[in-house]
Amino acid sequence: GEDVEQSLFLSVREGDSSVINCTYTDSSSTYLYWYKQEPGAGLQLLTYIFSNMDMKQDQRLTVLLNKKDKHLSLRIADTQTGDSAIYFCAAPSGGYNKLIFGAGTRLAVHP
Amino acid sequence: KAGVTQTPRYLIKTRGQQVTLSCSPISGHRSVSWYQQTPGQGLQFLFEYFSETQRNKGNFPGRFSGRQFSNSRSEMNVSTLELGDSALYLCASSSMTGNTGELFFGEGSRLTVL
């Protein structure tokens, strides 16, 4: 089945760019997702990319997909303290809104 | 538009008891999914319902069950609670009938089993 892996921690300075990386195993994934979870809250869909795309940009967010290496990344430009959260990479597995999530990358933004 | 509403937000139970969690999806959304989030196992899929039918199920024991009503509201039940069932239970709704994974999550129900 699908497996999704991501690094656990990332610390950046306010104003810098953040890059969160993710690898997945199932090459048949049609969409790949990035979700954000703030403390005490549920998950919020940040963005997603279709498998026939290499890149998707949405304001400060840029998603890069390398299908050959099964590698997905999320770049946050001009990172702010409000971006401090846990970011999850997710891929569909087994149909009907079943997502496999990575362990989550905790992003800490410091002044 | 109101978001996904989960009740209760917090609850404490003892081993052996049972618990029922409720989820009201976004108006017009007919698919409801449930996920369990724990520090050790992360986010794990429990099950998904659409039009009162369970379409998909994760690898959880039969103590975990759910249902969906005609108004798309959903409940999940855990019987004979174990300490390891302590978790944040997240409900998500979707307007898509296909498999896009564009889910809208509630804030979760945090269950503590003593």
A4 to chain B, any CB pair closer than 8 A? The answer is: no
Least confident of B40-44, B50-54, B95-99: B95-99
| Residue B95 or A90, more confident | A90
Distance (Å) from the C-alpha of residue B17 to the closest C-alpha of chain A? 25
Shortest CB distance from B100 goes to which of A31, A94, A101? Answer: A31
pLDDT tens string A46-80: 999 998 899 999 999 999 999 999 999 999 999 99
Give the residue carrying structure tokens 């975990």.
B64
Chain B contact present for A103, CB below 8 A? yes
| Cβ within 8 Å of residue B89, ≥6 positions away | B6, B21, B34, B35, B36, B37, B46, B76, B108, B109, B110, B111
- Summarised one tens digit per residue, pLDDT across range A5-62 is 999 999 999 999 999 999 999 877 788 999 999 988 899 999 999 988 999 999 999 9
pLDDT, residue B102, reads 86
Q: How many CB atoms lie within 10 A of CB B40?
A: 6
Listed in sequence order, the residues at least 6 apart from B107 whose beta carbon sits closer than 8 Å to its beta carbon are A40, A41, A42, B6, B9
Is the CB of B101 less than 8 angstroms away from the CB of A92? yes
CA distance B11 to B72: 23
Chosen for mutation from B100, B107, B109 (greatest number of chain A CBs closer than 10 Å) is B100
Q: Do you know the residue count of chain B?
A: 114
A102 and chain B in contact, CB less than 8 A = yes
Q: What percent of chain B has pLDDT over 90?
A: 89
What pLDDT shows up at residue B97? 61
Answer whether residue B67 shows pLDDT above 80: yes
Say yes or no to pLDDT of B98 above 70: no
Nearest CA distance, B31 vs chain A (angstrom): 8
Residue B6 has pLDDT above 80, yes or no: yes
